[in-house]
Amino acid sequence: MANKPTWMVIAKRELMVRIRTKWFIIVTLLGPVLMVGMIIGPGVAMVKKNQSGTKIAMVDKSGKYGPEIAGSLWLASKAVGSIDVEQLPPTTSEEALQERIKNDEIKGYLVIPADVLDGGTVTYRGSNVANSLLMRVMDNAVERSVWIARWKAEGRDLEEWNRLTAGVDFDVEHTTGEGEAKSPVAALLVGFLVMFTLYMAILLYAINVMRSVVEEKTSRVIEVMVSTIKSTPLMLGKVLGVGSVGLLQLSIWAVMAALIYSFRGSILGMVGIAGAAGIDLGLGSVGGDAIFVTLLYFVLGYFFYAALYCAIGAMVNSEQEAQQVQTPVVMLLVIPVLFVQLVAADPRGTLAEVVTLLPFSSPVLMPMRYLMGGASLGEVALSVAILAASVLGVVWLAARIYRVGILMYGKRPSLKELVRWIRHT
């Protein structure tokens, strides 16, 4: 039987060394734990919030509109949890109210002026004013109560008011004209989750390649290795081995995520959230094509950045130097994150098309765009072709820098010297 290629031996060694470490096991197990936490955490927090409620005090200096406003707040509290309103006499001083906030007896207090119907300013003071949703609910409730009071003051019928101000149901779903419509929040959530996972995985595993090269270079182990193995197979094996670790970890997380999502109702039911078994997040089903596109971009994106980091590791002499030199490469990966919101807002727009064709940003943004229905298979194929060609070019450049740099010590090479290394045969 023929001997295995050198790069395959190196790749297997890099893979086995890493998956046998405690850190690999811990991080791999932490992924599902965090997923469960993302499901349970918000649910438990919401239940506790609904149980405890938000207690505020209200001082109605008009002596007329307090009960109406308290009732409106109670009706509007579904979106933010229960709002418990304590109505106090008009003579209650603000000093006493401030003291109650200080002692955490109330979260804040609402003051209704006597001339509220004539344009007087309603004020709220509290420790929870940063809760924009709660403030909006309170503002709407107070406005509604004042409008009703003005309506009654003019002698008009309240039933007429209810008929004129009856709400209109407004249903929003994400669709591209193909397949089943989905919740817009769910579509955006899945897209962002995939984007963030790819960003972190590519960055972390590419940096691992650089650190491995730096460690072998500073310990002079590399000198022994290149005496028996050519530099190109050595670099290729290292990149493949570390990449296999990332692909294995992502695959485990993907399977666990699918299982956790399938049994989300039971998981929430275990922590006592009523009605959890019937919860539907509206995510729909993620097809095999979406999984394939995500993994394909991870592999190509990883190779693109791992080759660059491998070259950086060969150029420097210490971990400190590596931290400085890698900044431009990190920026290449950070820049796409700045465009995430723009791509998500218009996945079929010109900007989304451009940034998902660029090789340094397509690994992060194209899977998200595809999952949101913004890219056709033809656009994905073009993006993959550009990225694959770029990977070949970057690997070729990195291999030329690597073969010279791994045996160079001392002063960090200048740009002119790097060009000479690349041109060296």
| Residue 275 pLDDT grade (very low, low, confident, very high; cuts 50, 70, 90) | very low
Residues 349 and 402 in one domain: yes
Q: For 375-388, what is the mean pLDDT?
A: 92
Q: Which residues of 276-291 are buried (b: 16+ CB within 10 A; e: fewer)?
A: beeeeeebbebeeeee
133 touches 79 (CB < 8 A) = yes
Residues 275 and 126 in one domain: no
Query: Tell me, what's the pLDDT at 382?
Result: 95
Dihedral in degrees, nearest 10, Cα atoms 87, 93, 97, 103: -130
Question: The domain containing residue 365 runs over which residues?
Answer: 6-40+183-423
Distance CA 15, CA 400 (A): 24
Q: Range with the lowest mean pLDDT among 85-89, 147-151, 153-157, 207-211?
A: 153-157
- Domain containing residue 153: CATH number: 3.40.190
Tell whether pTM > 0.85: no
Residues 22 and 115 in one domain: no
Residue 190 has pLDDT above 60, yes or no: yes
In a domain, 113, yes or no: yes
Q: Report the 10 Å Cβ neighbour count for 253.
A: 19
What are the strands of the beta sheet with 108-112, ordered from one edge?
83-88, 54-60, 108-112, 123-126
Return the closest-CA partner of residue 39 out of 206, 381, 270: 270
Higher pLDDT, residue 283 or 27: 27
Residues 314 and 335 in one domain: yes
Residue type, 270: M
Q: For 274-279, what is the mean pLDDT?
A: 45
pLDDT over 90 percentage in the chain? 5
Query: Tell me, what's the pLDDT at 3?
Result: 63
256 touches 34 (CB < 8 A) = no
Residues 361 and 316 in one domain: yes
Query: Tell me, what's the pLDDT at 207?
Result: 82
Residues 152 and 249 in one domain: no
Query: Tell me, what's the pLDDT at 161?
Result: 64
Residues 221 and 340 in one domain: yes
In a domain, 178, yes or no: no
Residue 258 has pLDDT above 60, yes or no: yes
In a domain, 45, yes or no: no
Query: Tell me, what's the pLDDT at 139?
Result: 85
In a domain, 11, yes or no: yes
Residues 28 and 123 in one domain: no
Return the closest-CA partner of residue 299 out of 401, 384, 232: 384
Q: Range with the lowest mean pLDDT among 78-82, 214-218, 236-240, 400-404?
A: 78-82
Sign of CA dihedral 72, 73, 76, 78: negative
Residues 270 and 311 in one domain: yes
Query: Tell me, what's the pLDDT at 279?
Result: 45
Residues 280 and 335 in one domain: yes
Query: Tell me, what's the pLDDT at 278?
Result: 44
Q: Give the number of residues written for the chain.
A: 425
In a domain, 164, yes or no: no
Q: For 233-244, what is the mean pLDDT?
A: 82
Q: For 308-332, what is the mean pLDDT?
A: 84
Residues 254 and 336 in one domain: yes
Q: How many folded domains does the chain comprise?
A: 2
Residue 136 has pLDDT above 50, yes or no: yes
DSSP, collapsed to helix, strand or coil, labels residue 126 as strand
- What are the structure tokens assigned to 16, written together? 């086995």
Residue 406 has pLDDT above 90, yes or no: no
DSSP, collapsed to helix, strand or coil, labels residue 11 as helix
Query: Tell me, what's the pLDDT at 276?
Result: 44
Last residue of a domain, one of 125, 159, 193: 159
Concatenating the DSSP letter of every residue in 161-189 gives HHHHT--------B--SSS--B-HHHHHH
In a domain, 287, yes or no: yes
Return the closest-CA partner of residue 303 out of 215, 392, 196: 392
In a domain, 167, yes or no: no
181 touches 175 (CB < 8 A) = yes
Cα 98 off chain centre by: 39
In a domain, 174, yes or no: no
| Residue 277 pLDDT grade (very low, low, confident, very high; cuts 50, 70, 90) | very low
Residues 147 and 190 in one domain: no
